[in-house]
Amino acid sequence: MPDRELIFEVSEDELEGGYTARALGYSIFTEADTIDELRDNVREATDAFFDETMETPKVIRLHFVRDELLAR
């Protein structure tokens, strides 16, 4: 039985702007300029990946990862 939750690791591109999201354990990747657009793109990418023969996750979680660069 597939996982009922799909987790996307979300990173913000501080240099160019926008966001990228990668599903953990699946080959699903998307990007967007805004958080709202990213949410829509994640749903669309998930729907495209899981066809009608597969059980889709019941919950999609966005896990935001923040890198911090310290200059020396």
CATH number at residue 35: 3.30.2390
Number of domains forming the structure of the chain: 1
How many angstroms separate the Cα of 63 from the Cα of each of 6, 14, 71? 10, 17, 26
70 domain-assigned:
no
Residue 28 main-chain phi, psi, to 5 deg = -125, 125
Residues 6-15 have a mean pLDDT of 92
Residue 52: predicted pLDDT = 86
Two tokens, residue 47: 């729907």
Residues 51-65 have a mean pLDDT of 92
How many angstroms separate the Cα of 65 from the Cα of each of 1, 20, 29, 48, 55? 28, 10, 15, 24, 28
Two tokens, residue 27: 């080959």
* Confidence band for 67, pLDDT divided at 50, 70 and 90: confident
pTM for the model: 0.84
72 domain-assigned:
no
